[in-house]
Amino acid sequence: MPSPTTPGYALITGASSGIGAAIAREYARRGKPLVLVARRAERLEALAAELSAQAPCVVIAADLADPATPQRLFEETRARGLFVDTLVNNAGFGTPGRYLSADWKTHADFLQVLMTSVAQLTHLYLPAMEAAGRGRILNVASLAGLVPATAGHTLYGATKLWLIRFSETLNQECRTRGVHVTAVCPGMTYTEFHDVNGMRDKVNKLPKGLWLTSDQVAKLGVDAVEAGKPRIVTGKANNVIAALSKYLPNWLASALIGSRSKDFRDAD
């Protein structure tokens, strides 16, 4: 069992690019040892080489769409004698279009990566954190979980809302045991996410004031979980959008978001 002085690693899923890689860089700047997890081994190795002068890095190539992966990750880190006192659930992807435009295997993989693996990894790593009296769990959610639903990307906002509520509830359960749980809710962020899901041309038309860099999001998220904040929305504009969504009548908020949804959602 780890003691309060046992060196702790930050395990980051989806660490090969975007916000995940930025969070890895942020923790490395703070001297935090890292376990970098993603499907693309060559990208992880390149990131580990970049960061190794700042912090120890362990690379584990794994696909969280495989239901066996969370248990395998846990067993591998335990076999290596690594105490994971920080878990960053960041892995994810988008499924553009209507719900019926994708086959069930795609949706099943999406739910496995964005929900089931998050719940299972948390269930696996949390006991040792509580036993040591210290731990951090940072869940990368989205502004999409706080605004009215729009057509397209059907499961995305729903899973992010679940992740926010999961984080807030878990924080209530764990905060007296030395473990902080935070949902970071970015809006538009400069990553390759929109290139992968084919929405780059559309989202580039959005106002520049809505965008943050992945480095900005990473620092805000890490600062928030260290401070014990259960939720943080990144950026002033996104906080305004979240507040309007909360306090405006639902029909009006839905109408406002819906009128611009084609700029950031593919509903075809």
156 is a catalytic site residue: yes
CA angle 141, 144, 145 (to 5 degrees): 65
Strands 135-140 and 179-185: parallel
- For residue 30, give Cα distances in angstroms to 10, 88, 179: 11, 15, 19
Residue-wise DSSP of 119-156:
HHHHHHHHHHHHHHT-EEEEEE--GGGTS---SSSHHH
- For residue 129, give Cα distances in angstroms to 6, 33, 143, 168, 171: 11, 16, 28, 17, 13
Residues 16 and 27: their CA atoms lie apart, in Å, by 15
Catalytic option among 9, 27, 125, 156? 156
Strands 135-140 and 212-213: unpaired
**Phi, psi for 49 (deg, rounded to 5):** -65, -35
Catalytic residues: 156
